[in-house]
Amino acid sequence: MKIAVNTRLLLKNKLEGIGQFSAESLRRITKSHPEHQFYFLFDRPFDESFLFSDNITPVVAYPQARHPYLWYLFFEYGIPLKLRKIHPDIFLSTDGWIPTKLDIPTVNVIHDLNFVHHPEFVKPVVRRYYDRYFPKFAHKATRLATVSEFSRQDIHQSYQIPLERIDVVYNGVNPVYKPFTQEQQKIVKEQYTNGCDYFLFVGLIHKRKNLDNIFRAFDIFRDKVGKPMKLVVVGDKKWWAGEIEDSYLQMRHRDDVLMLGRQQLDVVSTLTASATAVVYTSLFEGFGQPIVDAFAAHTPVITSNISSMPEIAGDAALLVDPYNVEQIAEAMGKISLQTELRDELIRRGEVQREKFTWQRTADLLWATIEKVLP
């Protein structure tokens, strides 16, 4: 069987959430199924590390798909041109985009519909593309997968896709996330925060991630609780200007905020394992990867009580209204002061994270693929 795969987000040292999902699931699927031939379709010169097994043939299609006009050209012309030469039996996309005129069975993974619910967070030209084409991508696919039951219901309700055509394929946890001893944590704190305890935010700095309210909550927390804690922020500052930056500049405790920018995975896992808590109070998520990463590192979590986050966190996190700054600050205070609460959340997190492994992700995605095999 020939399986063509959209792998444009497999970028060396630049694996965001969907890229990580793609890499981890495809690594396991290709190795587990040597009886099939996989054709990985890149939009630029690829890194050899993404050729996970001998049954993968890399193909570069053009143009590079990094803008709505180029997305259109890549998926409507670049990929179909290559597929006519490959003659695959199935097309798999792990990032939501597919050619709209394919005549072969197609599996498409749509991770979330954040742009439907928060169009204000998306640039107008991008939003117009999403609004026009994602309903087509959803309806054209033979079968859909998504990363939470919340997103499954959301796709069903937003695009009127029958639920029986949509499978849930949860994300996993990278094995690099592990608990640290107190001595290891001490070394990390001395390196990054001058020995101080800290809260950690991990994610792309974007309005949807709600960092402006986290800044305000941290100020309230520091005013009410005398502990000299820090707030460590890890993420690319692509959408820094505006409300997020204004909130930061207005902080009373701005000197206790460390902006580390984008970091490699080993640094992120180290910071996660040494934090007092991960604060991930996003306004919308299809999954919420930092939640389960923190569970694996035995780090408590403060997260939002909306969209997919309660589903992913279960009973193992403090859930707050992300629009309520006082609630976020109160949760920070509880976790920083109540040792028994921290220990209980860590124990529950160990149980909850067992639901999320990349092997399970690969198995579930392959089960979806098998449903459309000719």
pLDDT digit string, tens, across residues 245-283: 999 999 999 999 999 999 999 999 999 999 999 999 999
Longest dimension (CA), the chain: 66
* 220 and 73 both lie in a single domain: no
Scan for tokens 């099939």, then name that residue: 36
* 31 and 69 both lie in a single domain: yes
Which of 6-20, 39-53, 205-219 has the least mean pLDDT? 6-20
Decide if 177 is inside a domain. no
* 207 and 295 both lie in a single domain: yes
* 349 and 363 both lie in a single domain: no
Give residue 237's pLDDT: 83
Give residue 254's pLDDT: 96
* 149 and 231 both lie in a single domain: no
pLDDT of 374 higher than 80: no
* Cis? peptide before 63, omega within 30° of 0: yes
Residue type, 316: A
Decide if 30 is inside a domain. yes
* 163 and 215 both lie in a single domain: no
pLDDT of 354 higher than 90: yes
pLDDT of 239 higher than 90: no
Give residue 242's pLDDT: 86
First to last CA, the chain: 9
* 266 and 212 both lie in a single domain: yes
Percent of the chain with pLDDT over 90: 92
* 101 and 211 both lie in a single domain: no
**What tens digit of pLDDT does each residue of 67-78 get?**
899 999 999 999
Q: What is the CATH number of the domain that holds 277?
A: 3.40.50.2000
Scan for tokens 């097994």, then name that residue: 53
19 — alpha (psi -120 to 50), left (phi > 0) or beta?
alpha
Confidence bin at 26 (pLDDT 50/70/90):
very high
> How many domains does one find in the chain?
2
pLDDT of 57 higher than 90: yes
On whether the CB atoms of residues 315 and 348 are closer than 8 A, the answer is: yes
Percent of the chain with pLDDT over 70: 100
The edge-to-edge listing of strands for the beta sheet with 143-146 is 56-60, 37-42, 2-6, 90-93, 106-109, 143-146, 166-168
pLDDT of 341 higher than 90: yes
Q: Is 285 helix (H, G, I), strand (E, B) or coil?
A: coil
* 166 and 188 both lie in a single domain: no
Q: Is 95 helix (H, G, I), strand (E, B) or coil?
A: coil
Contacts of 193 (CB under 8 A, 6+ apart): 230, 232, 258
**What tens digit of pLDDT does each residue of 105-158 get?**
999 999 999 999 999 989 999 999 999 999 999 999 999 999 999 999 999 999
Mean pLDDT of 162-186: 97
State how far the Cα of 292 lies from the Cα of 374, in Å rounded to an integer. 36
State how far the Cα of 56 lies from the Cα of 38, in Å rounded to an integer. 5
Return the structure tokens found at 329. 């600050």
Number of Cβ within a 10 Å radius of residue 77: 13
Mean of the per-residue pLDDT values of the chain: 96
**What tens digit of pLDDT does each residue of 281-300 get?**
999 999 999 999 999 999 99
State how far the Cα of 222 lies from the Cα of 54, in Å rounded to an integer. 55
* 166 and 193 both lie in a single domain: no
Strand locations in 147-276, DSSP E?
A: 166-168, 198-202, 230-234, 257-261
Domain that holds residue 103: 2-172+357-370
DSSP string, 247-278: HHHT-TTGGGEEEEES--HHHHHHHHHH-SEE
Confidence bin at 82 (pLDDT 50/70/90):
very high
* 235 and 310 both lie in a single domain: yes
On whether the CB atoms of residues 174 and 294 are closer than 8 A, the answer is: no
* 12 and 69 both lie in a single domain: yes
Mean pLDDT of 189-203: 97
**DSSP 8-class letter at 78:** I
Give residue 164's pLDDT: 97
Scan for tokens 């592990």, then name that residue: 178
Decide if 248 is inside a domain. yes
Decide if 75 is inside a domain. yes
Give residue 108's pLDDT: 98
